[in-house]
């Protein structure tokens, strides 16, 4: 993950956290617990999608070979779907 991506996720987490109207006591902490929860969720989503995209790439490369390796491409596609589904739990 690049520094720019990390800054973007930090900004997004801050915006989402501030929508919850944190109390002055919560904002007094250097890093509030709820902010960390939101940040961790966003990081996990980004990582899941990156892993799923790798599987999608395998799928496309195996399909390009055609014929006898097609089942491997299907497995890679199922893997990408399973990774993305983890975020829906």
Domain boundaries in the chain? 3-86
Instruction: Give the residue among 83, 11, 17, 75 at the shortest CA–CA distance from 47.
Output: 83
Quick one: which H or E segment has residue 58? helix 33-65
- Residues in the chain, pLDDT under 50: none
Residue 74 has what pLDDT?
75
pTM of the model: 0.70
Residue 40 has what pLDDT?
93
Residue 45 has what pLDDT?
92
């Amino acid at each position: 993950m690049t520094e720019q991506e990390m800054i973007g996720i930090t900004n997004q987490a801050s915006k989402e956290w501030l929508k919850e109207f944190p109390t002055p006591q919560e904002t007094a902490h250097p890093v509030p617990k709820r902010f960390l929860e939101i940040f961790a969720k966003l990081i996990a989503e980004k990582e899941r999608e990156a892993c799923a995209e790798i599987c999608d790439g395998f799928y496309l490369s195996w399909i390009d070979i055609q014929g006898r390796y097609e089942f491997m491409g299907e497995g890679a596609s199922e893997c990408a779907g399973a990774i993305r589904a983890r975020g829906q739990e």
